[in-house]
C-alpha cells in the first residue's frame, strides 16, 4: 500500500474510532436526564454526573500524548478503547449516585482518544495539509450529536439501561475496525525520555497558556453545552427528551463535523485570523443567548402594559447552530497554532492544550448547575461563557499586539500577524 493510501486509511479509521469514543464520552448528557429524575438530583448534582467522564478524559490527555509520541498512536488508541468496554457495560447495573460517578471516571478514558489521534494522524501528512487532516479527525466531535440521535431512541425502546450495553458493543467493534485499517510507521515515534512532570514545564511558555485559554473556550464550551443542552430544552422550553435531543444536535453536529472546515481555513488564512473571528462570533451570540426569558410591565398613558422578551426555540436554536459552527472552526484553528509552532512535539503540547480544554468541559457543567441553583436563571450558563470569551478576546488583542511590536516595530498598531 502506498504511503498516501495508508495516510487516508489511518485518517478514516482514526476518525471513526474518535467519533465512537466521543459518542460514549457524552453519554450522560442524555441518559443523565432519566437518571436525574430517578435519583432526585438537583442541578449541581446533575452537572457533576455529566462532568465526571470529562474529568478523566482530560487528565489522561497529557500522558496519552507522550505515549503516542513514544510508542505510536495505533497501539495506544487500540488499548485505550478496549480498556473502556467493561466500565461502559457496567453502567447499566448502577443503582446509586456514587456508582455512576465512579464508573463515569473509567468511561471518561475514552475522551483521551483525541490527544492520541491528533499527533498520530498529523504525522502522516505534510505540514501544509496537517490543519485539514487534524480538522477531519477532529470532526469526530460530532459523536456528541450521534449520542443525541441514538440514545433517545434506545431509551424510548427499552429504557436508559439499554444505552450503555449498546455503547459497549459499539466501542468493542470500533476498536477492532480501527486496528484492521490503521497502520504503524516507526519513524513517526519520538525517542524521548521526557516524563510527565517535564512536559508540564511547557506551561512556562506563555504561548501554551494562551492556546489553553482559547481551547478551553472553543472545546470546553462545546463539551459543556453538549452535555447541558438536552436538559436545557426540556426544562426551559418543555420539549420531550427525544425532541430536545434532536434540537440540541443542531449545535453538536456542526460543532463536530465542520471542524474540517476550520482546518482548511486555518491552513489558508492563518490560525490567528481565524481564531480572532471565531471569538467575536461567539461573543455576540453568547450575549444574545444570555438574556433570560423576561416578563415586565410598564406604565403608559393608557394604563399598564405587559411585555415579554425572550428567545423563541427557533431563534435560540439558530444562535446555537452559529455557536457550534464557530466552535468547530475554532477548535481546528487552535491546533493549527500547535502544528505550526511545535511540529516536533505535537503529542505532548496537544496533550497539555487538550487537558485545558477538557478541564473546561469538566468544570463548566458543574458551574452551570451551581449558578442555576443559586440564581434560578437557566440562561446563566451563557453568561458564564460570555465572560470566558471576553477574557480570550482581551488576551488575544494585547498579546499578539505585543509580539508584533517586538518582531516588527515598523508594523502599524492595527496590523496583526497572518
- Report the C-alpha gap between 113 and 178 in whole angstroms: 12
Determine, yes or no, domain membership for 416: no
pTM reported for the whole predicted model: 0.76
Q: How many domains does the chain have?
A: 1
- What per-residue confidence (pLDDT) applies to 413? 40
CB 336 within 8 A of CB 202: no
Do residues 114 and 61 make contact, with C-beta atoms less than 8 angstroms apart? yes
Report residue 64 CA to chain centroid gap.
17
Q: What is the pLDDT of residue 300?
A: 85
Q: What is the pLDDT of residue 411?
A: 41
312-331 residue pLDDT tens: 999 999 999 999 999 988 88
Does residue 188 sit within a domain? no
Is 189 a domain residue?
Answer: no
Read off the CATH number of the domain in which 288 is found: 1.20.1250.20
Residue 122 lies in a domain: yes
Per-residue pLDDT at 253: 81
pLDDT at residue number 403: 55
Q: What is the pLDDT of residue 3?
A: 74
Residue 192 lies in a domain: no
Count CB atoms within 10 A of the CB of residue 321: 16
Give me the residues paired with residue 299 across strands.
304
For position 201, what pLDDT does the model report? Answer: 66
If phi over 0 gives left and psi between -120 and 50 gives alpha, with beta otherwise, what is residue 40? left
**Is the residue at 413 inside a domain?**
no
For each successive 10 residues of the chain (418 residues), what is the average pLDDT? 80 92 91 92 90 88 80 90 95 94 93 85 79 80 86 91 95 95 76 60 74 86 88 90 89 78 81 87 93 85 84 92 90 80 69 80 89 89 90 77 51 40
Domain carrying residue 56: 3-183+197-407
**Residue 161 placed within a domain:** yes
Within a domain: 9? yes
Contact 147, 23 (CB under 8 A): yes
Amino acid at each position: 500500500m502506498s504511503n498516501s493510501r495508508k495516510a487516508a486509511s489511518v485518517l478514516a479509521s482514526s476518525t471513526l474510532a474518535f467519533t465512537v469514543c466521543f459518542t460514549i464520552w457524552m453519554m450522560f448528557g442524555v441518559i443523565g436526564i432519566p437518571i436525574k429524575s430517578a435519583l432526585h438530583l438537583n442541578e449541581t448534582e446533575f452537572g457533576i454526573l455529566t462532568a465526571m467522564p470529562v474529568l478523566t478524559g482530560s487528565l489522561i490527555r497529557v500522558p496519552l500524548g507522550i505515549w503516542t509520541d513514544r510508542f505510536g498512536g495505533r497501539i495506544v488508541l487500540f488499548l485505550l478503547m478496549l480498556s473502556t468496554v467493561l466500565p461502559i457495560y457496567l453502567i447499566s447495573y448502577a443503582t446509586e449516585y456514587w456508582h455512576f460517578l465512579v464508573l463515569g471516571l473509567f468511561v471518561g478514558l475514552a475522551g483521551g482518544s483525541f490527544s492520541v489521534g491528533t499527533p498520530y494522524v498529523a504525522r502522516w501528512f505534510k505540514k501544509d495539509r496537517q490543519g485539514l487532516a487534524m480538522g477531519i479527525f477532529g470532526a469526530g466531535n460530532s459523536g456528541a450529536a450521534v449520542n443525541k440521535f441514538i440514545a433517545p431512541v434506545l431509551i424510548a425502546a427499552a429504557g436508559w439501561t439499554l444505552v450503555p450495553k449498546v455503547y459497549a458493543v459499539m466501542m468493542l467493534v470500533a476498536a477492532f475496525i480501527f486496528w484492521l485499517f490503521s497502520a504503524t510507521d516507526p519513524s513517526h515515534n519520538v525517542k524521548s525520555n521526557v516524563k510527565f512532570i517535564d512536559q508540564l514545564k511547557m506551561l512556562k511558555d506563555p504561548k501554551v497558556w494562551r492556546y489553553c485559554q482559547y481551547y478551553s473556550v472553543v472545546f470546553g464550551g462545546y463539551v459543556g453545552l453538549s452535555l447541558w443542552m438536552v436538559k436545557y430544552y426540556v426544562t426551559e422550553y418543555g420539549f420531550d427528551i427525544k425532541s430536545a435531543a434532536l434540537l440540541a444536535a443542531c449545535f453538536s453536529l456542526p460543532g463536530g463535523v465542520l471542524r474540517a472546515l476550520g482546518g482548511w481555513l486555518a491552513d489558508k488564512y492563518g490560525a490567528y485570523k481565524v481564531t480572532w473571528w471565531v471569538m467575536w462570533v461567539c461573543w455576540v451570540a453568547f450575549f444574545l443567548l444570555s438574556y433570560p426569558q423576561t416578563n415586565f410591565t410598564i406604565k403608559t398613558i393608557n394604563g399598564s402594559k405587559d411585555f415579554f422578551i425572550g428567545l423563541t426555540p427557533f431563534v435560540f436554536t439558530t444562535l446555537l447552530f452559529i455557536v457550534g459552527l464557530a466552535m468547530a472552526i475554532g477548535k481546528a484553528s487552535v491546533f493549527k497554532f500547535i502544528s505550526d509552532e511545535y511540529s516536533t512535539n505535537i503529542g505532548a503540547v496537544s496533550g497539555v492544550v487538550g487537558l485545558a480544554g477538557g478541564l473546561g468541559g469538566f468544570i463548566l457543567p458543574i458551574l452551570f448547575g451551581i449558578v442555576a441553583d443559586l440564581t434560578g436563571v437557566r440562561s446563566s450558563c451563557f453568561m458564564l461563557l460570555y465572560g470566558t470569551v471576553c477574557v480570550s478576546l482581551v488576551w488575544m488583542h494585547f498579546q499578539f499586539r505585543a509580539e508584533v511590536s517586538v518582531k516588527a516595530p515598523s508594523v502599524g498598531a492595527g496590523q496583526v500577524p497572518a
